[in-house]
Structure 1
Amino acid sequence: MSRIHPTAIIEAGAQLDESVEVGPYSVIGAHVTIGARSTVGSHSVIEGHTMIGEDNHIGHYASVGDRPQDMKYQDEPTKLVIGNRNTIREFTTIHTGTVQDAGVTTIGDNNWIMAYVHIGHDCHVSSNVILSSNAQMAGHVTIGDYATIGDMSGVHQFVRIGTHAVIGASTALGQDVPPYVIAAGNRIVEPHGINVEGLRRHGFSADAISVLHTAYRVLYKNGLSLEEAKVQLKELGSGGGDGDAPVQTLLAFIEASRRGILR
């Protein structure tokens, strides 16, 4: 029996593995590739130059691979690339990239993307990320591995969210959030410590977590300028223990920030 509902429209040129399931009234565009064991719910539209890996679940009424919401876009063949084992729930919207950036929007592996999430053009969502319902990502946003974005949150364009960071619900975020940091607030966003429980769950040692506590105090509690804090973080990340690599990750993130980090 066919895995594609008879009411679905699969345009000529689309490449679907024979194991892909497509629900009623969904539309798959001519330049779409979908890997093995992936499923597409009813009434969803997947279009554009979109490549979707294996074992993905795309819910009902999703819009994946549509044109970017950028007035400079002139029908260039930009892309959306989605990895493996992602859950993308109903009414999610994910757009392709623009030539003003790298021309591609990317979603990694094992992400949990809840209902009504928007991922704008040229965003880069890494792996094992949780995007709660109604989280909204403007263009050019980068989200690191294992980050969590709370429901009803909005992320300004070009903002970067570090690995293992947590963004609280209803947060309006306009600056970069360093790795491991918990941040929340509407209009005035403030840091609230490090993501201790998440770090424990993902195998960080007690020593590494202790060093990250110290790094957090250096960055947010000791009254230092950012340049002074960076000097101390560099020293802290060369102690020869489990905390070296996480602190070096934190410091590298700060050094690369274009919008400025949350202070």
Structure 2
Amino acid sequence: MNNRRTNASARSTAVARKSGRRAAARPARRRPSESVAARKARAARILAGLRAHYPDARCALTHRSALELLAATILSAQCTDQRVNLVTPALFARYRGAADFAAADPAELQELIRSTGFFRNKARSLIGMGRVLCDEFGGKVPQTMPALLRLPGVARKTANCVLGTWFEKNEGVVVDTHVGRIALRLSLAPSARNDKDAVRIENDLMSLFPRESWTFLSHAMIDHGRSICTARKPACDRCPLRAECPSADSLTQDDS
């Protein structure tokens, strides 16, 4: 029985490698006997490094209003911000307010956002968002976490982005694929099972960094993940956070 399980596991691993799929990253090894106080001190140095390297970090989604940011963030699920920015000019020219989204023809809306992927689900979310905004919030984007979470297609990541970016309210950390990956590589999320464990990652980050930094932290980590700490070939040799990263040596060895 054990041999069968071992063989099955090996076959699954081989298939995953052939298909190009990547398993979720596991937490980096924590520094030996790192106390909570030591981790917080390291987090402070990491934040200082991010501020120095990404002083102008901001949301990459093009928007002119809270509604546009909300819609763009919904579209960004499983899609790059660059692709979303190519789609939204025509989208926002056609749908200017919550009532326009609420009354949208599904087929027409789907065609406009098709290239962002999962366009049918996203169209339903945008239409449902418009209807709830009109029915419950006077057509305006609400400014609280509980209210935003009532909108179709909105979870904490989207709500955090809208609240922090547009309303300048630090209610949480935006945990996207970049933030999840970097948090584990830096050993800042000890409770997380892998880089997809967004709830635990967010809670760990909020416990380490001051509340007023949460929105900046989100955007800076995303920028860092795009430019240096990439998924496949991180540029550890030019990383401003290398001295604070428990994963740097192992990532460099893996890439050699």
Query: What range is the shorter-chain TM-score in?
Result: under 0.3
More helix by share: 2
Q: Which has the higher strand share?
A: 1
Q: What TM-score, normalized by structure 2, do the two folds share?
A: 0.25
- TM-score, structure 1 as length reference: 0.24
